[in-house]
Structures are given as structure tokens and as C-alpha cells.
Amino acid sequence: MTESRIEARTVDVVRGFSMDAPQKANSGHSGTAMALAPLAYALFARVMRYDASCPEWPNRDRFVLSCGHASILEYSMLYLTGFGLTLDDIKNFRQFGSPAAGHPERGHTPGIEVTTGPLGQGLANAVGMALAEHALRAQFGPQLFDHHTFVLCGDGDLEEGISHEAASLAGHLGLDKLVAIYDDNHISIDGPTELALSDDAAERFRAYGWHVENVGEIGEEIDALEAAVHRAKAIDGKPSLIVLRSHIGFPSAKFTDTAHAHGNPFGAEEITATKALMGMPDEAFWCPEDVLEHMRAAGTRHRPEREAWYSMYENWTENKPVLDAVLEGRGLDGWKDALPTWEPGESVATRAAGKKVLNALAPVVPGLMGGGADLTGNCGVELDGAVPFSRLNRDGRQIHFGIREHAMGSVMNGMAAHGGIIPFGGTFFVFADYMRPPVRLAALSDLHVIYSWTHDSIGVGEDGPTHQPIEHLASLRAMPKLRVIRPADANETAQAWRIAIEMGGPTALVLSRQNLPVLENTAGNTDVERGAYILRSTKADPDVVLIGTGSEVSLCIATADQLATEGIHARVVSMPCWELFMDQDDDYQRAILGEGFPRVSVEAGSTFGWALWADACVGIDHYGASAPASELMELFGMTVENVIEHVRIVLN
């Protein structure tokens, strides 16, 4: 069989899978996968550098399917090239336990780089991957890091606002080695995209500083597709966008260029008819042995390069401890010794403490890289004396994300998924709302990212209710696998940074604008990693347990002092992280909170959820106001007198 014939036959097999799997599942998206089958073949069989037997090779090319609804396309390629999926996995598409889930999920399926599906996220993740590649290549050289990131995106990706933010940043930074292919099929779920879209995507991306080539209707021409991708790869100083006019559902006579092809199974009759057009047997999940052999060979064609890379890595001598720490996402030996401490009685905003900790750790945790969404200094994410990462300086570890919180979160996810980088990003806590989609995906994907969210309460003061987070702690604590830490003082902030680096996964550091007193017994206190601990105990059994977080822990201490003058014994518990405390066993939780003692929580935010731990809650269940912070704290009940009033209620 000629090479061109086996390639055409492979494309037919992928299109067959793209119809058969959604049909069997009675769920899924056939049309986009069918239209892009020749492109996927060109990428996986001709262009991309990877070894399917080693999906974690650090110098592999990355592939991101931003239009994640077309997941059967990626699963088909991963099966055919030998990433470990089986034909039974393809047959069990969208079924419980199958690696071929409804949308691509990092960590669930070998070969999936990022979790996609929410449109636009994959495109922004790809920007982060390209950024990480540039940074690592600048630090260690092209012998170790020199690869491309490819991303497929559709109309939905480009309509979402995240695409504007991320593409603007990528163009500004001149991130070549990033190739995006826009599947311009003119179809959305509601019908033709012209119902809601008249943008000129090519001109938009050119305005962002991208190289753009509109290749027109070459969707069936594997040679032309390969050539277009190679031209994009060769562009220096700019990311590249290839605009490909495709026809969703092709070659179905009934459903090509229809909205039905987007998200509906084709039905047995149309599948039979379409396979007849392609000259395929009317057999579900047909995959002849010659196609499988051809693609398995494609999946391992770069194995010699991969083996040579690992041999070079093992014999690498220049900065090897740094390289190992970067690739393993950790600090250098003894890095925790760099953590600063503060003396009781000092007065330090936890955002300022966070900056001091970050600057102390940056030299000994070489993978740390990040910045702020135009609030770099405000949020404690400024690296002193650092040169910004830019198109002219790839050595910089300071990233200026601009006023692009959504893109910042998604780019951070891409950096973390790439590996070699522990990204951090800062903005005001209230603007975490702009970041929720990537924060959720970071939690779902267990990505090692660190958020420095500051100005954490009505302590923001005069900026008023638009800038004063009230419900944010409760809403983010509700997100599974997100570690939310609100430290009580500077020393707890240092431990929070240690936890964020050491434990992996996403961590939110929720820090104060205003100065907070450094408390007794917090310096070097590793109990922060247990989520809650007794900060002040009583000689006898306590009459009441006061539980505080962040700036309100010092309020609990002051309240305990006042109660002591009245003969009431109050235990003070600092609870910087609910999630870590929930991870402790029952014995530890009982030892900290006690049994049978009334409990009062104190936190300058929504009381939602505190009933889990407390009998009475001092909090703020309404929006704030514009006034000096000290006035607001008193006005809204963050006072010793109000806490004591709640104590009296529970004691009675």
C-alpha cells in the first residue's frame, strides 16, 4: 500500500471512530473531529516531536485541544499512536472509568496536557506553555528545552473573552514556538456563527502582534496542512495563527456544514451512508492492522531523540541541582531555612510579609516565576531587582500580566502543566472572581500554582464595597481541592508559602492590606500545615473556644484577654486553612476544638459555612462601605465588645 493510501485510510479510521463513539455513547461531538482528522494526522504523524511511550518527556512538543468537545479526535490519535489507550477505551467513550472521558482531562488520560472543555481555556493554557518553554530555554539552553506548543481552537474559543486577553499577552511577549490553528467552520450549536459573530479573527490577531496565515480550504490536503504548520513553526518573534476553513461533519452528505453535526450522534443510517462514501466497511470501530502499525511507528519515531535527551540530562553538570529542582517542582536542598521570621509585637501586613517571603525563597526555589495583574507591588508578588520577562529578555522571572486576571490564571495553569515552573500570580482578593474558571481547572487538574490574593476584607477601607470581598472566602472554600490559607500574621504567612511550595496543587494565599500584629508562638510554627492549632490555651478546660482566621485572630486574642478579667477562660484557635484541617483525623480535630465547649468563629467575611465549626459566628453577611478601615471594623462588629456579646450568648 502506498504511503498516501495508508494515510488516507488512517484519516478514514479516525472519522469512523468520530462517528461510532458518540453513536455508541448516545452523546458526544462528531462533526469537528471528522473535519479535523487530516490535520490531526498531519500533526501526530508528521510534525510533532514526541514519544508515545514516554508522555512526560520534558522536551516533547505540546498539543492542546482547546475545542475540547472534539475530544474523540484526540483520543483516537492517542490510541493509534500508542499512548496506552485501548480500542475498548474508545468503545467506552464517555462512560464511567474510561480514559476517553467527555472532555480531555489532565491526569486522567495519558497524553492529555491540560484539561479543556470550557472554551478559550486551552488557548490561554497554550500561551502559558509557550512562555514556560521560553523561560526554561533561556535558563538552561536549547539542548535541554527547544520545542513547540500546538493548539487547536474554534469559533467558540475565539468568542470567549479569555482568548482576547491571552492572545494579547502572547503577542506582546512575542511568544514564537506557539502555533494556534483556528478551525473556522462557521458553525455553532445555535446555527451559523453569523448569528452572533462578524469578527475578522485574522485581523484581530494581527493587531495583537501575531503572524497570521489564512490557508483557506486545504482541510483535506495533508501535504498542504503539514507545509502550513512548518511555515508557522519557522516564524521568529511572533506567535502564529493558521486560519483553516473547514467543513464540520465532512464527508457526511446529510450533516456537513450543519449545526446538527456539532453535538449530536449521526444515527446508524447516516453513519452507514458516510462510511460508504469513504469506502470503509460498515463496521463499528473498524481499525485494520496496517493502520495501527503505521500509527504506532509514528508514535515512536522520535524515540531516539528522547533517549538521547535523557542520556544528556543524566550527564548534565551545569547547575544540575537547579535543573533537578526545577523539573521536580521543589526547592533546593535546605530551601526552608531561607524562610524569614518576625518577632512578637512587630506590625506587618501579611501582603508585605508575603513579599519578603517570596524574595527570600526565589533564590532557593528556582522554579518560582510570576507576577501580578497590574498590582505587582500591591499584592506582594514583586521580585526585588528582577528584570521583567519580555520579548527582549527571556531570563526574567517577573511577569507583568497586565490587567488580565482571567488570562493570568489560565496562563499560570499552562505554565504549571508544562512543568519546570511554579507559577505565582497576584491580584486583589475581590478580583478572584475574574479568575474563577482557571482556578477551578487548576483544582480539578491538581496543578501546582500559587495565588497571592490580597486586600482580603473590609480592611481595604476607602475603596468601598466594589473592592471589599465578603463572600469570597466561603465561595472558594467550596471549591474541591483548592487550598485556601488566610494567615493570622507574618509568621503564618511564611508557613503558608512553605505549604504552597511543598504540598503541590493549587494554593490561595489570602492576605491583608492593613498591618497586623505579629503574635506569640507563630514563628516557625509548622502546625499551620494542619489547618488549625491552639494559639492560646487555658490552664483549665476552656469556657469558650474562639476560632479566628487572618486579621481576626488578633481580635480573638484581645477578646480572650478581656474575658480573662471577668473570669472566663477562652481558648484561641487559629484556623488559617479549612481544607488542611479537614484532612486531619478526628482525634486531632477534637484536641484542637475540644468537645462540649461552646465555640465562636470570628472572620471579617460571610459566615456561610462556619456552622460546621462554630455555635455562633461573628462575621459580615452584607456588602461593605467606603470609609477608613478602622471605622468599618468597628461599624461592622469586628470589635472585642461584639465578640464578647456573642460569647455571652453561647455561654447562656
Between CA 105 and CA 82 the distance in angstroms is 18
Residue 382: active-site member: no
DSSP conformational letter for 519: P
Yes or no: say if 401 and 429 are a contact pair by the CB < 8 Å rule: no
Between CA 618 and CA 353 the distance in angstroms is 26
Taking alpha carbons only, the member of 139, 152, 170 closest to residue 47 is 152
Yes or no: say if 132 and 418 are a contact pair by the CB < 8 Å rule: yes
CA 147 to chain CA centroid, Å, is 21
Query: What is the residue whose three cell numbers read 486545504?
Result: 218
Question: Residue 349, SS3?
Answer: strand
Sign (positive/negative) of CA torsion 31, 35, 39, 44? positive
Taking alpha carbons only, the member of 118, 46, 56, 106 closest to residue 77 is 46
CA angle at 237 for the pair 231 and 243, rounded to the nearest 5°: 45
DSSP conformational letter for 220: T
Query: What is the residue whose three cell numbers read 463499528?
Result: 284
Between CA 481 and CA 499 the distance in angstroms is 14
Between CA 215 and CA 243 the distance in angstroms is 6
DSSP conformational letter for 46: I
Taking alpha carbons only, the member of 154, 172, 170, 164 closest to residue 116 is 154
Between CA 12 and CA 480 the distance in angstroms is 41
Of 405, 492, 552, 579, which is the active-site residue? 405
Q: Pairing mode, if any, of strands 570-574 and 533-536?
A: antiparallel
Alpha helix positions (H), 264-347: 268-278, 289-299, 303-314, 320-328
Yes or no: say if 452 and 428 are a contact pair by the CB < 8 Å rule: no
Please give the single-letter amino acid code of residue 333: D
Yes or no: say if 228 and 234 are a contact pair by the CB < 8 Å rule: no
CA dihedral of residues 181, 186, 187, 193 (deg, nearest 10): 120
**Size of the chain, expressed as the number of residues it contains:** 652
Taking alpha carbons only, the member of 157, 20, 16, 40 closest to residue 94 is 20
Burial class of residue 553 in the structure, from the number of CB atoms within 10 Å of its CB (0-12 exposed, 13-18 middle, 19+ buried) = buried
Supply the angle between the helices 405-418 and 436-445 in degrees, to the nearest 10.
20
CA angle at 178 for the pair 175 and 184, rounded to the nearest 5°: 125
- Structural element, H or E, at residue 392: none
Between CA 71 and CA 103 the distance in angstroms is 6
Sign (positive/negative) of CA torsion 520, 525, 528, 533? negative
Q: Pairing mode, if any, of strands 240-245 and 62-65?
A: unpaired
Q: How many CA atoms lie within 13 A of 563 on its CB side?
A: 27
Indicate which residues carry an active-site annotation. 405
